[in-house]
A and B are shown apart, each in its own frame.
Chain A
Amino acid sequence: MGNPLPSSRAAEAFPAGLRVLIVDDDPTWLKILEKMLRKCSYQVTTCSLATDALHILRERKARFDIVISDVNMPDMDGFKLLEHVGLEMDLPVIMMSIDGETSRVMKGVQHGACDYLLKPVRMKELRNIWQHVYRKKMQELKEVETHSIDEVINILRNGSEDIEDRHLIDETEMSSMRKRKDVDNKEFVDQELNDPSTVKKARVVWSVDLHQKFVNAVDQIGFDKVGPKKILDLMSVPGLTRENVASHLQKYRLYLSRLQKQNGGTCGGNMQSDHINKTIKGKFGLKSSTNVQQDWELTKYACTTENFQTHGIVANAAHVSEMNRVAPAQVIASKKALVNDAQLGLFLSFKGMLPSIREKACKPLHDERPVMQLMQYPEQENYSVLEGYSCLANPDRDHEPCFDHFPSSQPLITSATCTNGKDMKDLYEMKPLQPAMPPMACTIDSVSIQVKHGLVNLQDTGAICKLEGSPSIEDCYLDETCNQGCFPLTYEVSLKSKSDSDSMLEDLHLYSVQKLSYLENVSCTGTEIYQYIDSVPITEVQRINLCEDSEPSGEYLYDPVDYSIDEYLFS
């Protein structure tokens, strides 16, 4: 709607013209719902695939006011779509299903659905969906009203970005900030401030100059530490909002991942990670942005394992798989899971990146190559990318062979590790791994380097692989949050026998395939992680948890990334 604001004039027009997006794989229902909504004088767009829906929501200039989606869809779980929409577009989402079991409805609510309709849906129920849109706008407006404009701007720009800024926001703001997933709220408020007559979000045109400033800012900050607020501050472009930067950053990461893919994977995953992270964030019920970031990190890791492949962290997994560790398998598996859902653009990169992984997720990797995956680094292009974006070796390339063949293996890791040469050593020493794989060590090194970003803190358990500088990091956000010790993503790499690994990989594979959740494949043991991560995924992850090794500590901290890395290290 053009004028959703609750002015009296708007109120009359409202809710006619409400822009609704319906997503349902059942063509009969799609037709019926479309007709019903049209009869309510709403503007309807239909979609039978969740991935198409996300694409439309992301790409279309025309905005939507509300999304209605079925829960069971072939390409993506409705709850995942729900998370994505909530995270990225902050639109109200209504879920629908023939299944009205309390647990399902609860799941919908937990994932952020603003309503849950049971099929067969009556027209009178659809007639009232405008209330969700209206309610949201009311909340947003209230936030504007409670603070002076300057205060609001300040809060918006500084507030939920970092923890340290939190003090700038008063509790109300913070809670309302938390409610929204930040970005849209800010956008809304910004827009509101600029043009109170409409709540349409301003569109920023990213000119070459602006983009150059953006890239410079990112380079300056360091890809692994980059965050929208920091970039915004560095760029110091008046009128630019954090949200603009955030979305641009996301796109940038995607772009890089695509580039990486083309180049054999240098950085690919960042963008994806972003998405994944976002998804994860949503999954866990974003809290304040800071928390979210943390969560994200966690999740990122979780995802990462999946993403590992793409980001190199996955590579770790790959390595792990090679090592016949489950971990890698997990990652791969999860990757698969990701891939499955990742019809989304986000995951596309993953998919592309790790096609092999998908197929071969369970393949045991060669010992000598374990690290290969990650090892993209040897090319160092990754590495540089890493610096900027902590791109992990693009798994897809390496992963292609699914760990089977590690590209030229050389322990790319060594190269990659260059950054963390010492890390590696540390790592290596940390665990009395079977010395065996020096190359592994190398890779791990690289891996660790990458992983490091996030959260991996090696722990005493011995097999801990310290992953520093998460490679894709942005994706892994871990580094931001993790470093704070949010979650000690340490994992133990236990060397398992090849056969074990193989079967584990298989299991993981299955698991991952079946589950679309990101964390599924990640086995996280760290308690910290639990704090941040929704318990559901963790349990899922646990299932896949490989650990069984006789490794010393036998503790596997969750961090899929870590896990894989450990695996490699210790394999």
Chain B
Amino acid sequence: MALHISSAPPISAFHHLLCFFFHDTYPEMEYASSLQRQLASMKKNLFDQGYLDEQFYQLEELQDESSPNFVEEVVTLFFRDSSRLVANIDQALQKYPQDFRRLDNFMHQLKGSASSIGAAKMKNECTSFREFCNKENREGCLRSFQKVKKEHAVLKQKLENYFQLLRQDGPVDKATRSGN
């Protein structure tokens, strides 16, 4: 097994361990930097666990030389806008708890937004919230909304980590990729 000491600053001490582990499990990654492998596995997890769906790949395909950070920009934009929407819904649930139509409208927007980056779990929670709205089930709405918020927060954190790694990998990657 080769410990690839990539020229990129080590992300953590244990990335060596990662290399060790992953070398056997993902032999194809042998020539990728550990960082890249880490990134790949993170991404794979996000997909496997249903946080992200196909749409995310679409975003990656859109990234090119003219917009090299496209995916990250879009994701950032999404979280900024969706946080605002979540706050609106929160407020609406308190101020107009019986106004299911309004709640549904907000959630429809949020769902549409979530679909833009492929936030699958969040989108599903949005759908179930809307179902509660249709049935005018206030309790159900409240519960469901908590889940929506949770999925939103979890995905946000995961993607932040992912992009942080990606940024580390980025500049170095071009220089070292072939070397790895």
A complexed with B = yes
Report which A residues bind B (CB closer than 8 A).
25-29, 31-32, 35-36, 39, 70, 72, 97-99, 119-120, 122-123
- Determine whether the beta carbon of B62 is less than 8 Å from that of A35: yes
- What residue in chain B is nearest A99 (Cβ atoms)? B108
> In the complex, how many angstroms separate the beta carbon of A258 from the nearest chain B beta carbon?
33
Is B59 on the interface with A (CB-CB < 8 A)? yes
Instruction: Kindly identify, within residues 49 to 70 of chain B, every residue whose CB is under 8 Å from any CB belonging to chain A.
Output: 54-55, 58-59, 61-62, 64, 67, 70
- Determine whether the beta carbon of A27 is less than 8 Å from that of B58: no
Separation of A120 and B55 alpha carbons in the complex (Å)? 7
> In the complex, how many angstroms separate the beta carbon of A314 from the nearest chain B beta carbon?
27
**CB-defined interface of B70-105 with A at 8 Å, one 1/0 digit per residue?**
100110011001000000000000000000000001
Residues of A within 8 A of B117 (CB): 28
Instruction: Choose one: B58, B61, B108, B112; the contact of A29 (CB below 8 Å).
Output: B112
Separation of A432 and B39 alpha carbons in the complex (Å)? 83
- Determine whether the beta carbon of A120 is less than 8 Å from that of B58: yes
Residues of B within 8 A of A39 (CB): 62, 64
Instruction: Choose one: A28, A98, A120, A122; the contact of B108 (CB below 8 Å).
Output: A98
- Determine whether the beta carbon of A36 is less than 8 Å from that of B62: yes
> In the complex, how many angstroms separate the beta carbon of B148 from the nearest chain A beta carbon?
15
Separation of A467 and B116 alpha carbons in the complex (Å)? 52
Is B45 on the interface with A (CB-CB < 8 A)? no
Separation of A330 and B114 alpha carbons in the complex (Å)? 38
Residues of A within 8 A of B67 (CB): 35
Q: Which 5 A-B pairs have CB atoms at the shortest separation, nearest pair first?
A: A98-B112, A28-B116, A120-B55, A28-B78, A120-B115
Once A72-B105, A98-B108, A99-B108 are accepted as A-B contacts, the answer to whether A28 and B81 lie under 8 Å apart by CB is yes
**CB-defined interface of B113-152 with A at 8 Å, one 1/0 digit per residue?**
1011110000000000000000000000000000000000
Residues of A within 8 A of B73 (CB): 31
Once A26-B109, A29-B113 are accepted as A-B contacts, the answer to whether A123 and B77 lie under 8 Å apart by CB is no
Residues of B within 8 A of A28 (CB): 74, 77-78, 81, 113, 116-117
Residues of A within 8 A of B37 (CB): none
Is B23 on the interface with A (CB-CB < 8 A)? no
Residues of A within 8 A of B118 (CB): 120
Separation of A32 and B77 alpha carbons in the complex (Å)? 11
Report which B residues bind A (CB closer than 8 A).
54-55, 58-59, 61-62, 64, 67, 70, 73-74, 77-78, 81, 105, 108-109, 111-113, 115-118
A-B contact pairs, 6 of them (CB 8 A): A28-B74, A28-B77, A32-B116, A35-B70, A36-B62, A98-B111
Residues of B within 8 A of A36 (CB): 62
Residues of A within 8 A of B59 (CB): 32
- Determine whether the beta carbon of B113 is less than 8 Å from that of A26: yes
Once A27-B77, A32-B74, A98-B111 are accepted as A-B contacts, the answer to whether A120 and B62 lie under 8 Å apart by CB is no
Separation of A29 and B54 alpha carbons in the complex (Å)? 15
Separation of A31 and B78 alpha carbons in the complex (Å)? 10
Once A31-B73, A31-B74 are accepted as A-B contacts, the answer to whether A26 and B62 lie under 8 Å apart by CB is no
Residues of A within 8 A of B113 (CB): 26, 28-29
- What residue in chain A is nearest B111 (Cβ atoms)? A98
> In the complex, how many angstroms separate the beta carbon of B133 from the nearest chain A beta carbon?
13
Once A28-B78, A28-B117 are accepted as A-B contacts, the answer to whether A123 and B112 lie under 8 Å apart by CB is no
Residues of B within 8 A of A97 (CB): 112
Residues of A within 8 A of B61 (CB): 123
Residues of B within 8 A of A123 (CB): 58, 61-62
Residues of B within 8 A of A122 (CB): 58
> In the complex, how many angstroms separate the beta carbon of B154 from the nearest chain A beta carbon?
18
Separation of A98 and B73 alpha carbons in the complex (Å)? 22
- What residue in chain A is nearest B73 (Cβ atoms)? A31
- Determine whether the beta carbon of A119 is less than 8 Å from that of B116: yes
- What residue in chain B is nearest A73 (Cβ atoms)? B109
Separation of A105 and B116 alpha carbons in the complex (Å)? 20
> In the complex, how many angstroms separate the beta carbon of B84 from the nearest chain A beta carbon?
10
- Determine whether the beta carbon of B77 is less than 8 Å from that of A72: no
> In the complex, how many angstroms separate the beta carbon of A75 from the nearest chain B beta carbon?
13
- What residue in chain A is nearest B123 (Cβ atoms)? A98
- What residue in chain A is nearest B117 (Cβ atoms)? A28
A27, A99, A123 — most chain B CB neighbours (10 Å)? A27
Separation of A32 and B58 alpha carbons in the complex (Å)? 10
- What residue in chain A is nearest B112 (Cβ atoms)? A98
- Determine whether the beta carbon of A26 is less than 8 Å from that of B55: no
Separation of A25 and B105 alpha carbons in the complex (Å)? 13
- Determine whether the beta carbon of B62 is less than 8 Å from that of A72: no
Separation of A390 and B70 alpha carbons in the complex (Å)? 55
Separation of A72 and B113 alpha carbons in the complex (Å)? 12
Residues of B within 8 A of A120 (CB): 54-55, 58, 115-116, 118
Residues of A within 8 A of B64 (CB): 39
Residues of B within 8 A of A98 (CB): 108, 111-112, 115
Separation of A463 and B111 alpha carbons in the complex (Å)? 50
- Determine whether the beta carbon of B116 is less than 8 Å from that of A72: no
Separation of A543 and B119 alpha carbons in the complex (Å)? 40
> In the complex, how many angstroms separate the beta carbon of A107 from the nearest chain B beta carbon?
15
> In the complex, how many angstroms separate the beta carbon of A35 from the nearest chain B beta carbon?
5
